[in-house]
Amino acid sequence: MTTSIRAEIPDRLVQQAAILVHDGWASDLDEILIDALRRYLSSHSAELSETFVREDLEWGLRGDG
Amino acid sequence: MATASRIARVVVCDAGPLIHLDELDSLRLLCDFPSVLVPEVVWAEAERHRPHLFDTSSPSFARVTPQHPPRPALAALSRLMPLHSGETQALQIAEEHGADLLLTDDTAARLAARELQLPVHGTLGILLRAIRRGQRSAQQVLDLVRAIPERSTLHIKPSLLLEVMAEVERTLG
């Protein structure tokens, strides 16, 4: 299942993405956008954010420095 | 009462903690560090959000620019995460100056710092540390932590924030 979205993207980014597609590094713009979103979500996950809050709690109360 | 623990000498700060601490009227908590290095790009970003942030002479902020291009490992992480220019520069400055502490509230930047083996914490850590360092009472810090959703743009899940406050009360109450 997929959802269509409408987004304003800077021309420069679209041009860079188009070059990747033209050179064969990606099949189309959709693939690049999905991959970019997937990477963003994996590095900004809720689980990770929670881990960092707990690290701050421990360091703040009982840490060093 | 401040403990005798070693204070971080070289501290690099990303825009998030500067902005969030200022929103909470708690920027002075950074006075506990000898100086705070603020990358050029971060300085501009923080000033855009909080125009008077750097008007104060205390804490001691030093505006710095990277001396070299980022190491390949950082350049790769910056593209992969992806990181904004301010976050990348903060990591770069932290590496160049051998930082004891990098302050950022960005999850990806923290993840990158961990990969680069840089000690990293955020606004919440600085607030809670204020109790340990004798800068604020536990009650004062609890009030600040409680005020985070209304007074700042720092986003923390409400249930987690309650958990943090409960832990502070349990430990210090």
Mutation target among A52, A58, A62 for the B interface, most CBs of B within 10 A: A52
Which of A40, A49, A61 is the closest to B132 by Cβ?
A: A61
Q: Average pLDDT, stretch A11-17?
A: 94
Q: For position B5, what pLDDT does the model report?
A: 60
Q: Touching check for B40 and chain A: CB below 8 Å?
A: no
Q: For position B1, what pLDDT does the model report?
A: 44
Q: For position B113, what pLDDT does the model report?
A: 96
Distance from CA of A40 to the nearest CA of B (A): 6
CB contact under 8 A, A56 and B128: yes
What domains sit in chain B, N to C, each tagged with a CATH number? 11-124 (3.40.50.1010), 136-172 (no CATH)
Which of B122, B128, B131 is the closest to A52 by Cβ?
A: B122
Q: For position B57, what pLDDT does the model report?
A: 75
pTM for the full predicted model: 0.84
Residues B23-63: tens digit of each pLDDT: 999 999 999 999 999 999 999 999 999 999 999 877 899 99
* Separation CA B145–CA B164 (nearest Å): 8
* Separation CA B118–CA B112 (nearest Å): 9
Q: Touching check for B137 and chain A: CB below 8 Å?
A: no
Q: For position A43, what pLDDT does the model report?
A: 76
Which of B81, B169, B165, B159 lies closest to B124, judged by CA?
A: B165
Lowest model confidence (mean pLDDT) among A60-64, B80-84, B159-163: B80-84
Which of A40, A56, A60 is the closest to B132 by Cβ?
A: A60
Mutation target among A41, A53, A58 for the B interface, most CBs of B within 10 A: A53
Contact B49, B22 (CB under 8 A): no
Contact A51, B110 (CB under 8 A): no
Residues B147-168: tens digit of each pLDDT: 999 999 999 999 999 999 999 9
Residues B101-131: tens digit of each pLDDT: 999 999 999 999 999 999 999 999 999 999 9
Q: For position B3, what pLDDT does the model report?
A: 46
Q: Is the pLDDT of residue B4 over 70?
A: no
CB contact under 8 A, A61 and B171: yes
Which of A59, A7, A11 lies closest to A33, judged by CA?
A: A7
CB contact under 8 A, B111 and A43: yes
Helix-strand-coil percent breakdown of chain A, rounded to 5? 70, 0, 30
Kindly indicate the confidence band of residue B91, based on its pLDDT and cuts at 50, 70 and 90. very high
